Structure formats: C-alpha cells, structure tokens
Amino acid sequence: MAEDPKTIMLVCAAGMSTSMLVRKMMDAAEQTKANVKIFAASAADAKDKLTAEHPDVLLLGPQVRYLEGDFKAALSIPVAVINMSDYGLMKGDRVLQTALDLMA
C-alpha cells in the first residue's frame, strides 16, 4: 500500500507568487517521484488552511518572514523561511528539497 503523501504548505502575503512556485515544486516532485502534496495560502488564510490540511511542513515566503516566530510557537511541525534567491528565481527543485530535508 502506498504511503500517504507528505503535505507541504507555502505561505506568502497574497498567495499569488507562491502559487507559481508550487507549480515549479510539483514539476520537480514529478521528476524525482517525491510523494508530496503542495499548496499555497495567503497569510490571511494560513490558520484556516493549517486546520483543514494538516501539513507536515510550513514554508514562508521571504515577504512574510516576520510570521516565522508565531508559527514556530504555535505549531509542532517544521517551519522555515524560503531562501530569498530560490524564491526570487522560482527554483522549485531547491525549495522542494528544503521541505523534504526539514521533514526527514
């Protein structure tokens, strides 16, 4: 029986730029056969999405890095800020690897 996919949640200010990054990460996951579910949420929707989706790791866009402490205090899953150059260059493979490393 296949293992359930690991869920990766990305949070940014409005959810727009991270939705592009999610697509790049999904492409990288397909190539490496990583069993993951990846989605993005805006900072305003983050709490509802956390409750509904129960992610295994939370990655924050650089523009909402100020939320890192709050999320780390409230959650028992790994929380990290996405590397600014990986985010800016939409390096889905690198961001995916960061998420996988955090869950290892």
As to burial, measured by CB atoms within 10 angstroms (0-12 exposed, 13-18 middle, 19+ buried), residue 44 is: exposed
Strand order, beta sheet including 79-81: 36-42, 6-12, 57-60, 79-81
Active site residues: 12
- Could you tell me which residues come within 8 angstroms of residue 88 by beta carbon, excluding any fewer than 6 positions away? none
Distance separating alpha carbons of residues 35 and 14, to the nearest angstrom: 26
Q: Which of 67, 63, 57, 58 is nearest to 84 (CA)?
A: 63
